[in-house]
Structure 1
Amino acid sequence: MASEERDEDHLLQLDPEEIGQNDRQLPGEIERCTGLNYNDFFWRYMHKNFPVIITDVSNEWECQKWTVLQESRDLNSNTSASSINFDYLKTRIPNCPVPVADCNSSYFNSHTKLELNFHDYLDKWRSGIENQSSASQEVNSNVDTTSRDNLYLKDWHLAAQMPGYNFYKVPKYFASDWLNEQLIDQKKDDYRFVYMGPKNSWTSYHADVFGSFSWSTNIVGLKKWLIMPPGEELKLNDRLGNPPFSIDEKMLDEHNVRYYTINQRANEAVFVPSGWFHQVWNLTDTISINHNWFNACNIAMVWQNLRSNLKAVCKEISDCQQMDNFEAHCQTMLRASFGINYLDFIELLEFIATRRLAEKTAATKFLLFDSYRKNDYHVQYDLECLRKVTRTLTEDPTVQRSPLRLDERCRQLLARLEF
């Protein structure tokens, strides 16, 4: 009798693969893949830092019940589409406070942030849909569409808030996640998010936190992405080096920016590589599940971003260099502005190293997201990358002179890794 899921579906089967320099050339267009195996995703996309769209990732997720099938109103069409199941959402998720961005208002180059109760947010959303439907049926409607609320529920830590509610499953492609592996184990803040928003809500132009990877899976709705390879964003910065708040195709074409357009459908996951700036619009009412994460493939890029942000902090308060504990103060500011500092980064490396070294000597592997295990080659690959980045840390002047003895910790970690 065959099981519903094969054993290899739960094994992150990574095998060696030669990567030539010519393989690093940017693709002509972003590929859309069905039935992609883990090894191909790892080497063809994640390792190369190339984006990809992966289809059919959320068929079996519980949050499919957050949608309801709706027959098309076009009498000449036999198609159907999904809409938001507001009633089910209310019965399944309590009326808790949720973070909301007002897409019609900005404050210091960011959308204005609000906090609403979840059921109140759903009521506003449903009311907006009903009002829009009524207005569209009026031939001479005088309703000003720009005056409507445009509230986007973003960065909601629902998985951490309701740990017993298994409303989705991390796709195997994204399970090698050092960041959330540590944070979830230590019961700290995580980078797992739910997004819900009406048609025309949007996320402003940005690159992801830490220079991390991200993935975004649409449960319902259609999104449009404009996304560009690292380095292209420099063409858009003003004379002070500041990026724009919002972009469009006209702006990108005028500045000769190389970019890609993605039209993401329901049940598709977009993999966003490190350092790829992007902006996203909801073309319909949309719900998505999103993670930020990093691993062996981009840990060196995260370290370089951390170093660059420390330099920016030190420059910003350079007139205070003579103060006591100047470098400690810079590390405090780095954590506040960037999200982590040098100590946090080293503690994460120590955590991952401890687990991978244990996996190297034991037959049992740690479960990632309660589902996946790495094969032996994958564990070895992680250890190799940990060695490289730790060796780089030991050469960093800030690490060497830290009063927190970061240099000693890095050398101890390196000694454990160089077996």
Structure 2
Amino acid sequence: MASEALDGDNLLQLQPEEIGKNDEQLLPDEIQRCTGLSYNDFYWRYMHKNFPVIITDVSNDWECQQWTAVQEARDLNSNPPSASSSINFDYLKNKIANGPVPVADCNSSYFNSHTKLELNFHDYLERWRSSTGNQSSSPLSSLSSPEVNSNVDPATRDNLYLKDWHLAAQMPDYNFYKVPKYFASDWLNEQLIDQKKDDYRFVYMGPKNSWTSYHSDVFGSFSWSTNIVGLKKWIIMPPGEELKLNDRLGNPPFSIDEQMLDEHNVRYYTINQRANEAVFVPSGWFHQVWNLTDTISVNHNWFNACNISLVWQNLRQNLKAVCREISDCQQMDDFEAHCQTMLRASFGINYLDFMELLEFIAARRLAEETAATKFLLFDSYRMNDYHVQYDLACLRRITRTLSEDPTIQRSPLQLEGRCRQLLARLEFWS
């Protein structure tokens, strides 16, 4: 591979993990808030160990800072006094076309989920703008409250949360944010964006008291969430703690609070996320999020070498659940193919999708390793040599695991042959 040029802030500079430095796997006493964290330290201390972290000063230069309007100083006791920001509704209307957007009604639920509806974006903004006059309490006073901080009867106004909006995909020429380098090693969106499929890049925006119910992230993926404006409160718990909250049928609650968690002896952390901060949510950490003020955030779900094995485990477990659900149909023709169809519908991907993703990432990394082809991640970042090699080593391990899986071996989609082909290519260049 050709020697790499120094790309400064755009180089994902990964070094071999220092033996013994990151062996400690005890959960932290509190979630750290870091400024000036290096990519290498984030990779090994947090992403590889599956620990959460708050990273400050990530969105200073993003165009979407124009979506906010600075108001008067609110917290006069801080040093220096802090300024509060509000939503720049006029800028948003002028910048973004009036297309349909997905909205959740936080005052209504249906089958353990907020009721979903679709509104035109400008109509949503006007309904939001009209509700802001009802909210007068200081957002900073909300940080200590364990409840959804409603100072107005929710029945008297909208509580509509624009969620899971694929704005970046819908407006590819509008560069309203830049993926922080910490999160640029993203196998999931690297493939989906290249193949112009639905990706996992989202914008969330909503009024004070809107909220996201208790859940863990899709696929068992990582997620990151950067606040552009506003304050969010998170409750987040390590993997395994969620089992203490399930009912006798194994179903999780729709919503949680501190009292419930304390009564069930759940270990959890509380995060108060401010504007210009990114929260890294590791795989399998259940959480619930409240908007303590009017809030806008940019969010991604993703996975990479650090958690690809966890995603595979979740995929296998979900296939087993699907097979149990329709076990009375086991004698039908194409039973396993039908299970894969249901797996894709319920989980979001199936074994074929997972195999295609591994093949795609492997092809790119092998091209970098063997032909000095440099792919830009999110149009900005390049990996150093060791990063490419580490990705390839992880791809070899997960492909070897797949090749030994009984479902893969008997798949009518010839997945075993594809696994062995991919493994041969990866081992040839190891």
TM-score, normalization by structure 1: 0.95
Match of 2:188 among 174, 179, 183: 179
SS at match of 2:24: helix
Residue 300 of structure 1 is matched in structure 2 by 309
Match of 1:311 among 320, 326, 333: 320
One-letter amino acid matched to 2:129? R
**Would the aligned equivalents of 2:33 and 2:55 in 1 still touch at CA under 8 Å?**
yes
Cα deviation, residue 109, structure 1: 0.5
Aligned residues: 407
- How many Å separate the matches in 1 of 2:301 and 2:192? 12
| Structure 1 residue 33 corresponds to structure 2 residue 34 | yes
- How many Å separate the matches in 1 of 2:400 and 2:35? 39
- How many Å separate the matches in 1 of 2:115 and 2:426? 46
- How many Å separate the matches in 1 of 2:259 and 2:135? 29
| Structure 1 residue 372 corresponds to structure 2 residue 373 | no
Deviations 1:211-238 (A, max 9, x none): 0000000000000000000011011111
Structure 1 residues 75 and 301: CA distance shift in structure 2, 3 A: closer
- How many Å separate the matches in 2 of 1:319 and 1:128? 52
Residue 225 of structure 1 is matched in structure 2 by 234
SS at match of 1:40: helix
Match of 1:200 among 209, 214, 219: 209
- The correspondence of residues 58-73 of structure 1 with structure 2, limited to 5 A, is 58-72=59-73
- How many Å separate the matches in 2 of 1:19 and 1:341? 36
| Structure 1 residue 50 corresponds to structure 2 residue 65 | no
Cα deviation, residue 149, structure 1: 1.1
| Structure 1 residue 127 corresponds to structure 2 residue 136 | no
- How many Å separate the matches in 2 of 1:230 and 1:296? 19
Deviations 1:146-186 (A, max 9, x none): 43210000000000000000000000000000000000001
Deviations 1:9-64 (A, max 9, x none): 00000000135474111111100000001000000000000000000000000000
Query: Percent sequence identity over matched residues?
Result: 86
Name the Cα RMSD after superposition.
1.7
Cα deviation, residue 131, structure 1: 3.8
One-letter amino acid matched to 2:266? V
Residue 160 of structure 1 is matched in structure 2 by 169
SS at match of 1:418: helix
Residue 99 of structure 1 is matched in structure 2 by 102
**Would the aligned equivalents of 2:76 and 2:82 in 1 still touch at CA under 8 Å?**
no
SS at match of 1:194: strand
- Structure 2: 5+ residue stretches without partners: 1-5, 138-150
- How many Å separate the matches in 1 of 2:300 and 2:183? 9
- How many Å separate the matches in 1 of 2:53 and 2:414? 41
- Structure 1: 5+ residue stretches without partners: 1-5, 135-141
- How many Å separate the matches in 1 of 2:83 and 2:270? 25
- How many Å separate the matches in 1 of 2:155 and 2:54? 32
Residue 90 of structure 1 is matched in structure 2 by 93
Residue 3 of structure 1 is matched in structure 2 by none
- How many Å separate the matches in 2 of 1:337 and 1:75? 50
TM-score, normalization by structure 2: 0.92
- How many Å separate the matches in 1 of 2:301 and 2:66? 24
- How many Å separate the matches in 2 of 1:110 and 1:330? 25
Structure 1 residues 391 and 84: CA distance shift in structure 2, 3 A: same
| Structure 1 residue 339 corresponds to structure 2 residue 342 | no
- How many Å separate the matches in 2 of 1:17 and 1:246? 39
Cα deviation, residue 7, structure 1: 2.6
- How many Å separate the matches in 2 of 1:358 and 1:397? 31
Match of 1:114 among 114, 117, 128: 117
Cα deviation, residue 364, structure 1: 3.4
- The correspondence of residues 12-31 of structure 1 with structure 2, limited to 5 A, is 12-18=12-18, 20=20, 22-31=23-32
- How many Å separate the matches in 2 of 1:143 and 1:161? 35
Match of 1:393 among 391, 402, 405: 402
SS at match of 1:256: coil
One-letter amino acid matched to 1:11? L
- The correspondence of residues 270-309 of structure 1 with structure 2, limited to 5 A, is 270-309=279-318
